[in-house]
């Protein structure tokens, strides 16, 4: 029989893998009585290992810090504006940095050109994972549990070009292989967007997305030249992330929060 500490670790691992879950879902998957699972979640929430909203639990401040996600996203937010502005200066269209938050995407940072027609998202705006180049890029690299949850849930059809569950599922291997997503009017009619992943220590921490109107951005030449600029920016960003050092080691962090046992 698993010890209390082992069950707690399994719950933490499940929350980290799924990105967002419920007590009942974890209880069923791990074979833990619901009453016991609720007690674990109560302690984890009080200690900020998880956060809760409307009965759905996501990794909290402590768990994000321990997994490196919080540090990576904090650093991305810090350097994101400069990286995106460098892209905008070269391609003349809106550039956006997208991260995954549970079963949603979020616009972490954006930079816009000095033009009257812009395609953009509000900073910190939650976005659907199934529509748009940057969103589908982070979905392609999400844990299988998240992919299944998104494809099984309600999927708004924003335009006639919004992909359905089967199309999205079949596109994931190609996205992971090529490292590129091209969207033509999936979220906004008449727009074109292209996205690439940004890696840090073997994991995708965000996507870089450039978008504009079909009339300016629809040609193969524009797409090819924009991808070159984006890949250079992503490589620089990866180097910056790799060079950044946490204030504490994972071992020290685990020691700090070992009281949960």
Model confidence at 85, pLDDT cuts 50, 70, 90, reads very high
Q: Poorest-confidence range of 71-75, 81-85, 146-150? A: 71-75
The three-state secondary structure class of 49 is coil
CA-wise closest residue to 41 among 260, 242, 194? 260
- Helix or strand holding residue 204 (H, E): strand 203-213
Whether residue 103 contacts residue 19, with contact meaning beta carbons closer than 8 Å, is answered with yes
User: How far is CA 108 from each of CA 136, 169, 173, 243, rounded to the nearest angstrom?
Assistant: 15, 25, 25, 21
* Mean pLDDT value across the chain: 83
In this model, does residue 188 exceed pLDDT 50?
Answer: yes
* 193: Cβ contacts below 8 Å, ≥ 6 apart: 119, 132, 133, 134, 182, 183, 187, 209, 210, 211, 212
Query: Which pLDDT score, from 0 to 100, does residue 18 have?
Result: 65
The three-state secondary structure class of 187 is coil
In this model, does residue 91 exceed pLDDT 90?
Answer: yes
Q: What is the pLDDT of residues 100-120, one digit of tens each?
A: 888 889 888 899 988 655 666
- Enter the pTM of the model: 0.68
Q: What is the pLDDT of residues 127-185, one digit of tens each?
A: 999 999 999 999 999 999 889 989 998 899 999 999 999 999 999 999 999 999 999 99
Query: Which pLDDT score, from 0 to 100, does residue 116 have?
Result: 52
Whether residue 84 contacts residue 110, with contact meaning beta carbons closer than 8 Å, is answered with yes
Go through the domains of the chain in sequence order and give each one's CATH number. Answer: 4-66+249-260 (1.10.10.10), 69-243 (3.30.450.40)
CA distance 76 to 94: 18
């Amino acid at each position: 029989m698993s010890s209390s500490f082992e069950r707690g670790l399994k719950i933490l691992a499940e929350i980290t893998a799924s990105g967002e879950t419920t007590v009942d879902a974890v209880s069923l998957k791990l074979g833990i009585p619901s009453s016991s699972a609720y007690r674990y979640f109560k302690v984890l929430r009080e200690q900020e290992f998880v956060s809760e909203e409307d009965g759905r639990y996501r990794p909290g401040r402590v768990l994000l810090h321990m997994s490196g996600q919080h540090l990576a996203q904090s650093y991305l937010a810090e350097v994101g504006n400069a990286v995106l502005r460098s892209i905008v200066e070269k391609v003349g269209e809106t550039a956006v940095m997208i991260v995954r938050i549970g079963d949603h995407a979020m616009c972490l940072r954006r930079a816009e050109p000095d033009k009257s027609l812009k395609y953009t998202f509000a900073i910190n705006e939650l976005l659907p994972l199934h529509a748009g180049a940057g969103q589908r890029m982070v979905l392609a690299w999400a844990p299988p549990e998240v992919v299944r949850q998104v494809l099984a849930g309600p999927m708004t059809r924003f335009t006639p070009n919004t992909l359905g569950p089967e199309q999205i599922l079949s596109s994931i291997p190609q996205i992971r292989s090529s490292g590129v997503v091209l969207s033509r009017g999936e979220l906004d009619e008449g727009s074109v967007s292209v996205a690439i992943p940004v890696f840090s220590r073997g994991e995708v921490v965000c996507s870089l997305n450039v978008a504009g109107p079909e009339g300016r951005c629809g040609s193969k030449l524009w797409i090819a030249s924009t991808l070159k600029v984006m890949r250079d920016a992503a490589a620089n960003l990866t180097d910056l992330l790799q060079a950044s050092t946490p204030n504490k080691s994972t071992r020290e962090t685990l020691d700090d929060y070992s009281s949960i046992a």
